[in-house]
Copies of this chain bind each other. A is one copy, B any other.
Amino acid sequence: MRIAELSRRTGVPVPTIKYYLREGLLPAGELTSPNQARYGEVHLHRLRLVRALVEVGGLSIAAVRDVLGALDDPEKSLHKAMGTVERAVVGTGESPTDEVAHAEARAFVERQGWTYRPHSDAFQSLVNVIVTARELGHESFIAQLDGYARAARPLAEQDLDYALSAPTKDAAMEIVVLGTVLGDAAFAVVRRLARREASGLRQDRAQAEQDCDQAEQDCDRDEQDR
């Protein structure tokens, strides 16, 4: 297929596809003449993957390039590719150098029985979050993390099972990428749905106790319009 069909089947404008080609997010098509190229299903799939990473995952073009590089590297183990993807997902890596927050983060990971890796991106991000919470006077937020870990543990096992169920290594690599990027988005959404539900139930219960009919009628009004 030619570039126009690639565009039609994905909804991505032709100039944008050309831009991705320039940026190395898409491999060049097979040249049939000096200025005619043909694209295949691989390009189609890759283009969709790029859009998923950009739109759902919110990755920058540069981050997408890194992720795709890891995907295409036949040397990389699943475990390592996971690291590359996660590095691309997290934002800018600052180093606040807050002793107390660092110690709290360390205590947390060790309490979970996890290895303390102070220079990993994930650990730095954790310190960042704790610093932010502390600056805002929410020291008790840290206590929430243990609950998070309790929820995250089976999820991590599930993610791995899913990735290892892939028939080929390439498929497994892609699942790791999507499991991270789509998975984060999906979990955030599911969490919101769960919270909305729980919040609604509790509000109803509180209202029943107070016999407050007035509040009930506009309970879910703001999410019905549009």
Residue numbers of A with Cβ under 8 A of B are 45, 48-49, 52, 55-56, 58, 77-80, 82-84, 86, 89, 91, 109, 112, 114-115, 117, 119-123, 125-126, 128-129, 132-133, 135-138, 140-141, 144-145, 147-160, 162, 164, 174-175, 178-180, 182-200, 202-203, 215, 219-220, 222-226
A56 CA / B126 CA spacing, docked (Å): 11
Residues of B within 8 A of A128 (CB): 56
Main secondary structure of the interface of A (DSSP, over half): helix
**Are the C-beta atoms of B151 and A215 separated by less than 8 Å?**
no
Could you name 9 residue pairs across A and B whose Cβ atoms are closer than 8 Å? A48-B135, A58-B91, A125-B185, A129-B182, A141-B182, A153-B194, A156-B195, A156-B198, A184-B188
Residues of B within 8 A of A219 (CB): 79
**Known contacts A182-B132, A193-B126, A194-B155: A199-B117 contact under CB 8 Å:** no
A189 CA / B144 CA spacing, docked (Å): 13
* Integer count of this chain's copies in the complex: 2
Q: Which residue of B lies closest to A49 (CB)?
A: B136
A77 CA / B183 CA spacing, docked (Å): 30
Return the 6 tightest CB-CB contacts between A and B, nearest first. A156-B194, A156-B195, A151-B151, A152-B194, A152-B191, A148-B190
Closest CB of chain B to A194's CB: distance in Å? Answer: 4
Residues of B within 8 A of A125 (CB): 185, 189, 192
A129 CA / B185 CA spacing, docked (Å): 7
Residues of B within 8 A of A158 (CB): 144, 147
**Are the C-beta atoms of B160 and A199 separated by less than 8 Å?**
yes
Q: Which residue of B lies closest to A80 (CB)?
A: B222
**Are the C-beta atoms of B123 and A203 separated by less than 8 Å?**
no
**Are the C-beta atoms of B223 and A52 separated by less than 8 Å?**
no
A118 CA / B203 CA spacing, docked (Å): 21
Q: Which of B79, B129, B162, B215 contacts A203 (CB 8 A)?
A: B79
Residues of B within 8 A of A191 (CB): 152, 155-156, 184, 187
